[in-house]
A and B are shown apart, each in its own frame.
Chain A
């Protein structure tokens, strides 16, 4: 395996990585280290994990973090209702009289009543390729949970007092994402590889649009990428990410557009620009200018196409 084969495998499954991403993923896989991805919203951090799962054939296990997430929601819990029911059932059938308290207790805290949550499922032995564990938006979880992750991410093992230690025989591929709403703790960062995900360049973005929205015309794809590039330069509150570009291209495809014009841009702008203030800024810039520039960029790149096409990506 090399970074290039990683890039090839990812692009065959609909994700066009740049060299930085493919190298980072390659290292995460060969060195068995978690990969921490940071970047603006909508640059494809979560998508990378999904595609990676599709490419390796491993199961995708996703843990969405939020404030207050704790062990019983992320790692394991006991099925209390069934435990109680079981206790009553053994009493009712008279089974409990034939057994010692220890036996009964061991039964109640056996794997049968254990509810396995995302992190525990990720380190369980599996047939086939190891799963991809996506720990999404780690910055939303609190410090307590981050501290708990340290044990799991460095040793890939989980201790359940009543049962014992679970250890992964083959560690999962772990992707963590963060939107940088706060600093992830240094101790956690030190265990991870780090990659800052950028917006893609023009050629890559065109290739991504063509790959994800094959129904639209190549010319329109270039125009959309050109318009998005202009929008990113307008210092909007929320500059559009690749996710928005794809949404926009899809919307244009549904409307049967073959070319950008003022009317269709005005009607579909809500797919890329999501703040009232940003809308105003685009209007100030001039919708006609935006369309003109996009068409010009599209034409310029048709005449001098970039390096990147889907085939050699």
Chain B
């Protein structure tokens, strides 16, 4: 791309630059382009820094998008085309992940990490068997069926009393002055009817942290569907992928169509099936999201086998920090069902003292149980 003709009308420049940003995956509504153009008319295009800040305050709306904006700005306004848009910007987008159910590299049973759990053979129906089968032992077909089953899971989060009050027919200690006075005025100033307020119930926020490291590979695909079912089904759910880094995947998973959502999330997560540093990933989560407020008074669910290459002390410290602010900290470990399982993985051992509930997560039935645990509040 060549340097734009800066003598062109600001509107044209605004449109062209917005299109470039959109092409890079930034969401730029037309109203923002319009604002950008209006702003350029005020400031002109003579000063590089001013133009930079004008664009940033009108076109960017999330801190995470600033880096992308910076690169686009360099290419568009400064004509830095060398290793510009094509290669580096492609990088986070080009990783393909075998999340798709119908891929031929199916959930193979010969995975070394997979547990050889004996399948509880309940001979009611194929579905019934599938519900209890370990995710790691699934064939591609079964995985698709199980995902169908999981998309029917509806997570009902634990209710809590909100600070927002609403009318109630009960007698509470909080009078509803507005309604009481209204009916009093109707009765000529005599407060005959008394109305009351009570806290309205509200669902607790649910935060899901999914370990996407190599050791979780047989489970991560299936669990991601569970996470999707949770995000698509409820408003107050946040989802993160935890590997060597932390990736927020709430927005990607928001699509109703599970295939689109899971593919988008897979593309967003660049460290799929890599190593795990649970401690530093949790640290990031705590610093940037959790302790700030996202995890406060929420139900936080970590889906991980606890295999960790990082420092177990760090993991322990971060778990403690997280547990202090959450309403409930649930750890879902797909390996827990293995006969004779003991939390020997160093990470798991370090984390366990701070976990409120430690549950299984290897099968559809286990996930159904998890939805019950979450709903308990």
Residue interface bits A54-75, CB-to-B below 8 A is 1, else 0? 0000000000001110101000
User: How many angstroms from the CA of A19 to the CA of B54 in the assembled complex?
Assistant: 10
Determine which of A2, A27, A80 lies in contact with B177 in the assembled complex, contact meaning CB atoms within 8 Å. Answer: A80
Contact between B61 and A194 (Cβ–Cβ < 8 Å)?
yes
Does A148 lie at the interface of the complex (its beta carbon under 8 Å from any beta carbon of B)? no
Contact between A23 and B287 (Cβ–Cβ < 8 Å)?
no
Contact between B163 and A67 (Cβ–Cβ < 8 Å)?
yes
Having A24-B57, A31-B38, A193-B58, one finds 19 other A-B pairs with CB under 8 Å, namely A19-B50, A19-B53, A20-B57, A26-B43, A31-B35, A31-B39, A38-B63, A66-B163, A84-B184, A87-B185, A139-B293, A140-B293, A142-B164, A143-B235, A144-B164, A180-B292, A180-B293, A190-B32, A195-B57
Contact between A189 and B61 (Cβ–Cβ < 8 Å)?
yes
A143: which B residues are within 8 A, CB to CB?
235
Does A284 lie at the interface of the complex (its beta carbon under 8 Å from any beta carbon of B)? no
Residue interface bits B29-51, CB-to-A below 8 A is 1, else 0? 10110010011001100000110
Contact between A186 and B61 (Cβ–Cβ < 8 Å)?
yes
A31: which B residues are within 8 A, CB to CB?
35, 38-39, 42
Contact between B163 and A23 (Cβ–Cβ < 8 Å)?
no
Nearest B-chain residue to A70, judged by Cβ: B164
* Minimum Cβ distance to chain A for residue B347 (Å): 19
Contact between B66 and A105 (Cβ–Cβ < 8 Å)?
no
* Minimum Cβ distance to chain A for residue B34 (Å): 10
A196: which B residues are within 8 A, CB to CB?
63, 66
Contact between A80 and B57 (Cβ–Cβ < 8 Å)?
no
A24: which B residues are within 8 A, CB to CB?
53, 57
B42: which A residues are within 8 A, CB to CB?
26-27, 30-31
Residue interface bits A97-108, CB-to-B below 8 A is 1, else 0? 000000001001
* Minimum Cβ distance to chain B for residue A70 (Å): 7
Does A166 lie at the interface of the complex (its beta carbon under 8 Å from any beta carbon of B)? no
* Minimum Cβ distance to chain A for residue B182 (Å): 9
Contact between B39 and A27 (Cβ–Cβ < 8 Å)?
yes
Nearest A-chain residue to B30, judged by Cβ: A190
Contact between B164 and A67 (Cβ–Cβ < 8 Å)?
yes
B163: which A residues are within 8 A, CB to CB?
66-68
Does B162 lie at the interface of the complex (its beta carbon under 8 Å from any beta carbon of A)? yes
Contact between A181 and B164 (Cβ–Cβ < 8 Å)?
no
Does A169 lie at the interface of the complex (its beta carbon under 8 Å from any beta carbon of B)? no
Determine which of A66, A80, A144, A179 lies in contact with B178 in the assembled complex, contact meaning CB atoms within 8 Å. Answer: A80
Within 8 A of A (CB), among B291-346: 291-294, 296, 317, 321
B26: which A residues are within 8 A, CB to CB?
none
Contact between A194 and B164 (Cβ–Cβ < 8 Å)?
no
